[in-house]
Amino acid sequence: MKILVTGGSGLVGQAINSEKAMSPHHKFTFLTSKDGDLRSLDICRAIFTTHQPDIVIHLAANVGGLYKNMKQPVEMLNDNLEMNSNIVKCCKEFQVIKAIFCLSTCIFPDKTTYPIDETMLHNGPPHSSNAAYAYAKRMLEVQCAAYNKEYHTNYMCIIPTNIFGPHDNFHLKDSHVIPGLIHKAYLAKQSCKPFTLLGSGRALRQFIYSNDLARIILYLLDYYYDSEPMICSVGEQDEVSIDTVARKVAKQFDIDDIYYDDTYADGQYKKTASNKRLLDFFEKNNIDFQFTPIEKAIEETVKWFKDNYDTCRK
């Protein structure tokens, strides 16, 4: 099968590229922003005409951490609505037989009960801090369901929890929490200045290593025939505080003290998600899947960041 991966130079796209040997029967093409602006339907059509994909994995998005979402809601909304709509249209137009679309657990309601599962997606508004991005991603699930209903397509959405790993965006202001902390700790160590955590550190999150998510996606390509969304996450018992994560990052740099700037917002306190549907999928298909322990994943990410400091996104 010919598989077209959008966002191929990003965090998850690079991870799929590194894990693709487990799917030797597929031929992968990894698109980057240099291949064209997916916000243009004409450019999307030209890309699909060139590559004629059988399967699409849509990872491209305008993404960022809490503070980027709070500063740029219009861009987060419009860019993602346009990209997603164009890719869905082209999947239908070019008769793609299967498509996997990547959402985020930030799309779930702010006021809810825990753990969150896939049936609760539209039960209320998301947290105000990232509402624009969250609604754009929610609409992608609505689009997929509508196309599946009317045209009998096979489009499904995965909903990962907080992803991190090599090839992440380590920007000090616009990144997600772990790559941002890694970059801050690196600079603190280099300059002998304090390692400062924005916020109280009390917020809770589930993190998934990018290579683990890549392997899950490759399994879904071959063994998942449903169109229902699926949360891709470590278990509820593996939810950790941002403070705990910061300490694990600090340990990699031999930093003992963390300073807290609680003038910054924490965002949503928790987003505890159930991975029961994912575990049932593994069991049904006799897949012995082991998540990478967060300590090892952070260690590998820090090593990659140090080795690629001069050229990585930051």
Supply the residues annotated as catalytic.
133
Burial classification of residue 70, based on how many CB atoms lie within 10 Å of its CB (0-12 exposed, 13-18 middle, 19 or more buried): middle
Owner of token pair 């998510």: 213
- Classify 9 as helix, strand or coil: coil
Q: Residue 166's closest CA among 211, 232, 208? A: 211
Q: Could you give the CA distance from residue 93 to residue 104 in angstroms, rounded to a whole number?
A: 26
Tokens found for residue 298: 């952070």
| Cα–Cα distance list, 51 to 21, 99, 151, 200 (Å) | 21, 15, 22, 48
The two most distant CA atoms of the chain are separated, in Å, by 60
DSSP code of residue 95: T
Q: Could you give the CA distance from residue 230 to residue 208 in angstroms, rounded to a whole number?
A: 14
Q: Residue 94's closest CA among 51, 40, 145, 140? A: 51
